Amino acid sequence: MSDNYLTVIPVDPYWQPSKDAAGRAAAVLSGMLPDDDARRGLEAKWHDSVEVVDCGANLERISCPHCAAELTTDWWAAAVSERYDAGFPTLLGRVPCCGVEMSLNALVYDWPMGFARFRIEVPCPDRAWLTDEELASLADALGHPLRQILVHT
């Protein structure tokens, strides 16, 4: 059985909201869902350390924002697990294509994914991407810009 999730994460991987701000954002997101079935599973989650918020089977390509070269998933997985083992004190690394140092969170993920210590997750959202306007009003409620991720497992 396959599952779909709509997940929003702060643009800054280390940032966490207050409970109040998270509650406001969750309420706003809830209002963007089509029905109670979709709303039922909505959940705000805090993580002690940074977690990978991947898009599952939706991932088609990872590329370098500096030189646009495609990065292999083997390189990416090794870079992530090295930092994961250390508890993600940093996401910085040197890309193999052009040698520029950058955050793993800054790579170009198609479809989007990222890293976060906070997320709001909706299983079976029964809708497509949030519009730019919706994402902006959600970010206003949370007090921090957001990235959205559609997960297909």
Positions touching Zn ion (CB under 5 A) are: 64, 66-67, 69, 95, 97-98
In the complex with Zn ion, the residue whose CB is nearer, 103 or 137, is 103
Minimum separation from the CB atom of position 93 to Zn ion (A): 12
In the complex with Zn ion, the residue whose CB is nearer, 57 or 78, is 78
Q: What is the DSSP letter of 104?
A: G
In the complex with Zn ion, the residue whose CB is nearer, 95 or 149, is 95
Whether the CA torsion 30, 34, 36, 40 is positive or negative: it is negative
Please say whether the beta carbons of 63 and 71 come within 8 A. yes
Minimum separation from the CB atom of position 99 to Zn ion (A): 8
Minimum separation from the CB atom of position 104 to Zn ion (A): 13
Q: What do you get for the CA distance between the two ends of the chain, in Å?
A: 9
Concatenate the DSSP letters of all residues of 2-69 into one string.
--EEEEEEESSTT----HHHHHHHHHHHHHTSSSHHHHHT-EEEEEEEEEEE--BTT--EEE-TTT-P
In the complex with Zn ion, the residue whose CB is nearer, 11 or 98, is 98
What one-letter code names the amino acid at 40?
R
Minimum separation from the CB atom of position 111 to Zn ion (A): 20
In the complex with Zn ion, the residue whose CB is nearer, 104 or 141, is 104
* Phi, psi at 18, each rounded to 5°: -70, 165
Task: Name the residue among 22, 18, 75, 12 with its Cα closest to residue 44.
Answer: 22
Minimum separation from the CB atom of position 110 to Zn ion (A): 15
